Amino acid sequence: MTKYIIQRLIALIITLFLIMTIAFLVVRLMPGSFYDNQDLPETVIQAINAKYHFDKPLIVQYFYFIGNILHWDWGTSIAIQPNVPVFDLLKTRVPISLQINLISLFISIPIGIAAGSLAAIKKNTLVDHFISFMVVIFISVPSFIFATALQYFLAYKGGLFPIIYDAAAAMGTQKAMSMFLPVMALTFSPIARVTRYLRAELAETMNSEFLLLARTKGLTYRQAIMRHGMRNSFLPLANIIIPMFTNILGGSLVIERIFSIPGMGGMMIDSISVSDHSVTIAILMFYSFISLVTMLIVDISYGIIDPRIRVGGRK
Amino acid sequence: MNKKTMFRGILVLMLLLMLLSGCNNNAKVEQQPEETTPEEAPSAASNVVTDEGYGILKEATTATVGSLNPQTYSSSYQSTVLNRIAIRLYAYLPNSDYTSYELRGELAEGAPEMMDESGKVWKIKLREGVKWANGDVLDAEDVLYTFKRLLDPKMVQPRGGGFSKDYIEISNAEQYYLQNGEGGIQTDWEEVGIKMLDPLTIEVTTVDKQSATEVMSHFTHTAHAIVYDKLYEECMNAEGTETLYGTDKDKFMSSGKFVLENWIPDALVVYKKNPNYFEKDSIKLAGIETKVVENAGTKMQLFENGEIDYLGLSTEDYLKHDQDPRVLSEPGNAITYISINTVNPDKPILANKNFRMAMTYAVDRKGITDITKDVPANYMISTRQVIDPATGARYRDTDLAKANISENYGYDPKLAKEYFDKAMQEEGLKTLELTMLYSDSERYKTMTEYLQKQLPVIFGEDQFTLKVQAMPSSQLLSLKKTWKKDPTAYELTWSAWSGNELAPWNAMKYWTGSYSRKNEPFSNEEFNNIWDEVNFGESRFEAGKKLEYTARMEQIILEEVPFIPVAEGRSYYLKSDRVHLAFPHWINKIDFGWAYASIVE
Amino acid sequence: MRIYSKEDYRELDEKKFKLVQMDHDIKDEKFEQEPVGFFKDALIRFRQNKASVLAFFIICIVLFFTIFGPYMNSYGFNDQNSDTINMPCKIPLLAPLGICDGGKVIVNRRADLLGDPSYYPEGSILEVFNEREIQGVKMVDVKVDYYKYTGNGDKCFWFGTDYLGRDLWTRLWRGSRVSLLIAFVSVITNVFIGVIYGSIAGYYGGKVDMILMRITEIISALPRIVIITMFIMYFGTGLFAIIMALVVKGWVHTARMVRAQFYRFKQREYVLAARTLGIRDGILIFRHILPNAIGPIITSSMIAIPSAIFAESFLAYIGLGLQAPEPSIGVLLSQGQKVLLHYPNQSIIPGILISVLMISFNLFANGLRDSFDPTLRGA
């Protein structure tokens, strides 16, 4: 196992390096630069390009880039927040998005698991049908409709919550209140996904022999599912939670817009559309890093969740 | 068993509900004192202007400010923010009876003094006793430091070019600024035409003969606002190429009408009245609080709940309030027009003047603006532009300007078809397919789809097709600019142009032959000559000449059709009753003057 | 105890052997019924699932409208009319119920203009309420028959119109045509690539798996928006670019899922048994292990169809959707979102359609999964 983890860690570094190279190429090959779009004289643009080495061939620029990264210098933003080191830029926004998204994920996974197992235990009863119905509603109604409706009815008409996120408030009730609606709007889809997946998985596990054995042993249907079935269904569940985790980091664009949250949501698109290349690359690397690490954790935990699986084993 | 589980479930649910309702009560209790704070102050206070001011103006904006360093200035909203908290040598300030703007000294004590007959050396005297927010003295040393950094050859700040040469050209400034670039000439700071004579006097040397107004106008630019030298230097990196000045609320020093209290990028700006400002009595507010709200619907809800005091209306919201007496409107700013790439080798017909005439006559400007709620425009100088800054007369109100507007906003389908047939015959074409690029905004999308449907109807559906293609706006912008390197870059696309509010003739440089960064290829000798004359010629000081020249330039453009003006954008605002504006209506350079407003409970 | 060798058996006289069951009928020699094939069995089991059959019919109905809907009225999908902008729904059949009757509340009207027929044509005012005074001007809210109000009393747009006065019924069905095409093509391509890729990675494991999975990591690490922007730069905002943009990252999910299933099943006893019998890798993969993954694949790909429509709507949301004037559900939805509180019909109707599709595909997928599950065969 240790050998495998070390192997994976090395692979992770190589992958990150490859992603960095690809990101650099992709971003630099995109047409347009921030200063091109400004109404500046040609001579000034040339001088600025010379300062940032943009006048050198791509390969030379690449070495400058790698050299800087090795010194943990991710460059400075030129358009979104001029002169601010990209790392600091992310440092102020990541926690806000992360906070809201993690809370919503931590709320939705247990609820999803509970609802999913309930539906599986009560398969084909009224409870199951009700849960399935809610799942479909939660998944198929776009989040912006939910968010707009929550905002309109609970905040604007009802006055129960603030209409927008309160960025200035210190941690406390006031902040929590302003976070409530966006978190709620974000939980619908993950709850539904987890529920649906778990129900399907459990329903499949129901048909396997070891559960039959568990039943013959004298366990009730419910006990059998809780003690034996669940463990078996966590593996595929892990598989849908990872993309959820990475998606949720960047996928709340619409929610952040509606509730005016100064998070990461629109940063990627913004940085691309104003050609702030260092920011684009840094965000790209940030997302990649998160998704790679979660994937690694899940892969390693495969073996822990399901002892029959020997990770990396041959055919 | 089942009943038990259900019972348990209900219990949990009840608990949750209790928790939730508990939260609600808490929130109500907490919110109340916050809302009532302003009311505690005596309402009579609004008549007497105190050093603290009275009332907080609450705003919402879609735009965000990325940096408070004036020298990285790039957006109009950044200038709105900086004009509140940073001081400049000269500024457009309210006149004494609040009916118009006035160009006068902010940090400078009065108009610049001409030092010799040539009109090239100017002395600017500073106000005494101006202070930074921390109490330090703001004098000529700060001013000199600001300009030196703006032109710093190592930092190569984008705004250095504009400082060295805009309304006036400061001697040797550009040479100093670009000395490290290709073909740069080593220049000492001593050679640049900016000197400090004493702690309250600055001397500026220009290349050409200038008027006092031109010198003053030059220093009103947001990027030329004064920075705090100590902090600026502290925030500089080791190589002296970048500074973190203005990137954080603690890395900025206020000196303007307001003091920056709090700033969270992309979320919030809080201002407090500056009791040290030289005209502190013109500011009645205690402060301003600006939230960033991108969603138009959210903004409206905030307004109706009284959480913001005014807002700009989206088209849909405007339709809900078009009969509302509270609605304020401002004169059109930017002209939206269709760019035509006349040098595209794939579509030589674009170079054919008859075709471009056909396009002009074929665009139903009224039809388009009925949908987008803009103002139809077949002219290129927008309504708000002033032809005579001394009287504030608007260009569009003059007879010469009115003569440039044709009947029915230039829409004439019959004439369009005639010109189109002529052009097709000249080019020997049977059918024509053109591609129009548009950026992803709602307005451009609507206009493009409208033309896609309407143009073939006028030109004949079997003869003409318009393909359309959406693109992110920044990419479209740079694509447009590449027509020099790659003439096939585009065929038709949209652009917008706002010109120069107080000097429409100056902004025409955009279409002169020598201007390097324009979107569309156009050059006309008469036009170039007039532009040189109106900006640098001796006759520019004669009465009425500027109007005459400007109108002629506009006429040339409309005759030659290098592009097709379509509409003039218009904005509407809704204001709550608790805000009283100091000005009777919208004013050039000051807008509605929100900073000068007062709050009445 | 004597130990027999091969030679001993050879020595046995053949005549000593006799056929035991010579006189008996062999009952299990042959199935009495026709043998039931895999797909036929699946069909039988699918039919038993009522909800899935219903879902299948709903999908068929949607497909019917998708094909014939645009021809059901006289409006073309790109017929603009500046007199009929943003009209509400008007369905004569439902009008007596008070919904979709072409009525609309317009707010903040001046009270003194109510009697002016140039503002409010004869019979257009249904109800006046919420009288109030703003800055000395009397204001009211008015419920009007919006069709009469705009002078279109004779027209009838079932689902209303959009910002250019185009009929939304026609646009919706034409749009769902495009959306379903995008969804089907992209999902099928995704499953095809994903299954092959995932099977290879999952079955062979070890170094192969290591390398293949690193490749998927790189692909999934690049945000979709970057990839899409690249595609649009090179191919324009066409159908092809959008499908490709959905495929480039889409298959990774399927591949990972299939790989996980392989890890789960490849060390099961029956696989070991099959391998002992000398079965080739290809057959082991596709015949013995992959069918276990069919359930999740079908479920996820059926759900991926509405998700693909969603993804396409995200593209439309950031302005990189289909080339105008071609509509799609995503284009309509993102357009509607911007005016959700002003003209709710513009987002709710496509929203309902996408929900119906989602529910139907979901139920349909459940039925399919149960009927293709090898462990449930014959049950």
> pLDDT tens digit string along B486-539?
888 889 999 888 888 888 888 888 888 777 667 777 888 888 888 888 887 777
Which residue of A35, A151, A164 is in closest CB contact with B158? A35
CB contact under 8 A, B450 and C106: no
CB contact under 8 A, B294 and A168: no
> pLDDT tens digit string along B81-95?
999 999 999 999 998
CATH number for the domain harbouring residue B213: 3.40.190.10
Q: In sequence order, what are the residues at sequence separation of 6 or more whose Cβ sits closer than 8 angstroms to the Cβ of residue B157?
A: B71, B72, B149, B150
Are A163 and B302 spatial neighbours (Cβ–Cβ below 8 Å)? yes
Residue C58 lies in a domain: no
Distance CA A240, CA B38 (A): 51
CB contact under 8 A, A273 and B474: yes
Structural domain range at position C316:
168-376
pLDDT number for residue A315: 44
CB contact under 8 A, C264 and A144: no
CB-CB neighbors (< 8 A) of A259 in chain B:
298
CB contact under 8 A, B324 and C80: no
Distance CA B274, CA A186 (A): 42
Domain final residue, candidates C119, C149, C179: C149
Q: Is B137 on the interface with C (CB under 8 A)?
A: no
Which of B10, B74, B152, B498 best tests the A interface by mutation, with the highest count of A CBs <10 A?
Answer: B74
A248 membership: H or E segment, kind and range:
helix A230-250
Distance from CA of B82 to the nearest CA of C (A): 30
Are C242 and C328 spatial neighbours (Cβ–Cβ below 8 Å)? no
Which residue of B324, B442, B446 is in closest CB contact with C134? B324
Judge if B319 and B390 occupy the same domain: no
Distance CA C251, CA A306 (A): 25
Helical residues (DSSP H) of B376-500, grouped into ranges: 399-403, 413-427, 442-459, 473-481
Judge if B348 and B464 occupy the same domain: yes
Paired sense of beta strands B432-439 and B492-497, if any:
parallel
Residue B260 lies in a domain: no
Structural domain range at position B599:
309-329+573-601
Judge if C143 and C180 occupy the same domain: no
- Residue C103 main-chain phi, psi, to 5 deg: -85, 155
CB contact under 8 A, B158 and A167: no
Comparing CA positions, the residue from B517, B510, B518, B516 lying closest to residue B535 is B510
Judge if B394 and B343 occupy the same domain: yes
CA quadruple C195, C197, C198, C202: dihedral, nearest 10: 130
Judge if B231 and B85 occupy the same domain: yes
Scanning every residue of chain C, which has its alpha carbon at the shortest distance from the alpha carbon of A286?
C221
Residue B55 lies in a domain: no
Which of A27, A129, A144, A189 best tests the C interface by mutation, with the highest count of C CBs <10 A?
Answer: A144
Comparing CA positions, the residue from C140, C161, C163 lying closest to residue C152 is C161
CB contact under 8 A, A309 and C267: yes
Distance from CA of B321 to the nearest CA of C (A): 6
CB-CB neighbors (< 8 A) of C323 in chain B:
467-470
pLDDT number for residue C35: 65
CB contact under 8 A, A312 and C209: yes
Q: In sequence order, what are the residues at sequence separation of 6 or more whose Cβ sits closer than 8 angstroms to the Cβ of residue C79?
A: C165, C166, C167
Which two structure tokens, joined as six digits, stand for A129?
Answer: 């049908």
Compute the radius of gyration of chain A from its Cα atoms. Answer: 24
Are C75 and C167 spatial neighbours (Cβ–Cβ below 8 Å)? yes
Judge if B340 and B248 occupy the same domain: no
Judge if B595 and B520 occupy the same domain: no
Beta carbon pairs, A and B, within 8 Å: 153
Judge if B314 and B423 occupy the same domain: no
Sign of CA dihedral A217, A220, A223, A226: positive
CB-CB neighbors (< 8 A) of C80 in chain B:
449-450, 453-454
Comparing CA positions, the residue from C190, A168, C261, A6 lying closest to residue B34 is A168
Scanning every residue of chain A, which has its alpha carbon at the shortest distance from the alpha carbon of B174?
A44
Contacts with A, B 194-233, CB within 8 Å = none
Q: Which option is the CATH number for A93-314: 3.30.1300.10, 1.20.1630.10, 1.10.150.120, 1.10.3720.10? A: 1.10.3720.10
Residue C64 lies in a domain: no
Instruction: Check residue B594 and report its DSSP letter.
Output: G
CB contact under 8 A, C214 and A15: yes
Distance CA C17, CA B595 (A): 114
CA A285 to chain CA mean position, Å: 13
Are A189 and A143 spatial neighbours (Cβ–Cβ below 8 Å)? yes
CB-CB neighbors (< 8 A) of B470 in chain C:
237, 319-321, 323-324
CB contact under 8 A, C342 and B320: yes
Residue B395 lies in a domain: yes
Q: In chain C, how many domains are there?
A: 2
Contacts with A, B 143-182, CB within 8 Å = 156, 158, 160-161, 177-178, 180-182
The ranges assigned to domains in chain A are: 93-314
CB-CB neighbors (< 8 A) of C75 in chain B:
none
Query: Which chains does C contact via 3+ CB–CB distances below 8 A?
Result: A, B
CB-CB neighbors (< 8 A) of A152 in chain B:
297, 301
Judge if B489 and B600 occupy the same domain: no
Scanning every residue of chain C, which has its alpha carbon at the shortest distance from the alpha carbon of A250?
C223
DSSP A68-117: HHHTT---B-SSSSTT-BHHHHHHHHHHHHHHHHHHHHHHHHHHHHHHHH
Which residue of C80, C233, C339 is in closest CB contact with B450? C80
Comparing CA positions, the residue from B350, B353, B343, B356 lying closest to residue B487 is B343
Which residue of B266, B304, B478 is in closest CB contact with A37? B478
Query: Which chains does A contact via 3+ CB–CB distances below 8 A?
Result: B, C
Assess whether pLDDT exceeds 80 at residue B114: yes
Which residue of A136, A254, A308 is in closest CB contact with C267? A308
Residue C40 lies in a domain: no
Please give chain A's pLDDT, 315 residues, in tens.
677 788 888 888 888 888 888 888 878 877 666 666 666 777 777 777 777 777 788 888 888 888 888 888 888 888 888 888 888 888 888 888 888 888 888 898 899 989 988 888 887 788 888 898 888 788 777 777 888 888 888 888 888 888 888 887 777 788 888 888 989 888 888 898 889 888 878 877 777 777 778 878 877 877 877 777 777 777 677 767 766 776 666 557 778 888 888 888 778 777 877 778 888 888 888 878 887 887 787 777 766 666 555 544 444
Scanning every residue of chain C, which has its alpha carbon at the shortest distance from the alpha carbon of A151?
C341
- Could you give the 3-state DSSP secondary structure of residue C373? coil
Q: Is B544 on the interface with C (CB under 8 A)?
A: no
Judge if C244 and C125 occupy the same domain: no
Comparing CA positions, the residue from C63, C88, C220, C203 lying closest to residue C146 is C88
Q: In sequence order, what are the residues at sequence separation of 6 or more whose Cβ sits closer than 8 angstroms to the Cβ of residue A35?
A: A45, A48, A49, A78, B158
Judge if C100 and C235 occupy the same domain: no
CB contact under 8 A, C222 and A148: no
Judge if C128 and C264 occupy the same domain: no
Comparing CA positions, the residue from A249, A232, A233 lying closest to residue A294 is A249
CB contact under 8 A, A254 and C204: no
Which of C222, C268, C292 best tests the A interface by mutation, with the highest count of A CBs <10 A?
Answer: C222
- Residue C129's beta-bridge partner residues? C141
Are B500 and B538 spatial neighbours (Cβ–Cβ below 8 Å)? no
Residue for token pair 């409706």 = A149
CATH number for the domain harbouring residue C265: 1.10.3720.10
Judge if B405 and B521 occupy the same domain: yes
Helices (H) and strands (E) in chain C, counts: 13, 3
Judge if C99 and C179 occupy the same domain: no
Q: Is B326 on the interface with C (CB under 8 A)?
A: yes
Distance CA A196, CA A117 (A): 10
Judge if B513 and B401 occupy the same domain: yes
Q: What pTM value is reported for the model?
A: 0.82
Distance from CA of A37 to the nearest CA of B (A): 6
Residue C48 lies in a domain: no
Q: In chain B, how many domains are there?
A: 3
Residue C23 lies in a domain: no
CB contact under 8 A, C323 and B469: yes
Please give chain C's pLDDT, 379 residues, in tens.
566 677 777 777 777 777 776 677 766 666 556 666 767 777 887 888 788 888 889 999 999 999 988 888 888 888 888 788 888 888 888 877 777 788 888 888 888 888 888 888 887 888 888 888 888 888 888 888 888 888 887 888 888 888 888 888 999 999 888 888 988 898 899 999 999 998 888 888 888 888 888 888 788 777 776 677 667 666 766 788 788 888 888 888 888 888 888 887 877 888 888 888 888 888 888 877 887 777 778 777 877 887 788 778 777 776 677 777 888 888 888 888 888 888 888 888 888 888 888 788 878 887 877 777 666 655 4
Which residue of B316, B371, B471 is in closest CB contact with C82? B371
Assess whether pLDDT exceeds 70 at residue B484: yes
Beta carbon pairs, B and C, within 8 Å: 78
DSSP C262-321: HHHHTTSHHHHHHHHTT--HHHIIIIIIHHHHHHHHHHHHHHHHHHHHHHHHHHHHTT--
Comparing CA positions, the residue from B106, B102, B104 lying closest to residue B138 is B106
Q: Is B26 on the interface with C (CB under 8 A)?
A: no
Which residue of B326, B441, B469 is in closest CB contact with C236? B469
Which residue of C267, C310, C340 is in closest CB contact with A148? C340
Check whether the bond before C325 is cis (ω within 30° of 0): yes
Which two structure tokens, joined as six digits, stand for A251?
Answer: 């996928």
Residue B301 lies in a domain: no
Distance from CA of C103 to the nearest CA of A (A): 22
CB contact under 8 A, B440 and C318: yes
Instruction: Check residue B361 and report its DSSP letter.
Output: H
Residue for token pair 């990649």 = A288
Comparing CA positions, the residue from B31, B52, B50, B54 lying closest to residue B41 is B54
Judge if C263 and C173 occupy the same domain: yes
Distance from CA of A300 to the nearest CA of B (A): 35
Judge if C224 and C345 occupy the same domain: yes
Judge if C102 and C227 occupy the same domain: no
Residue for token pair 């928006």 = C225
CB contact under 8 A, B449 and C232: no
pLDDT number for residue A18: 87
Judge if C243 and C334 occupy the same domain: yes
CB-CB neighbors (< 8 A) of C253 in chain A:
243
Q: Is B320 on the interface with C (CB under 8 A)?
A: yes
pLDDT number for residue B17: 45
Scanning every residue of chain A, which has its alpha carbon at the shortest distance from the alpha carbon of B2?
A122
Burial degree of B3 (CB within 10 A; 0-12, 13-18, 19+): exposed
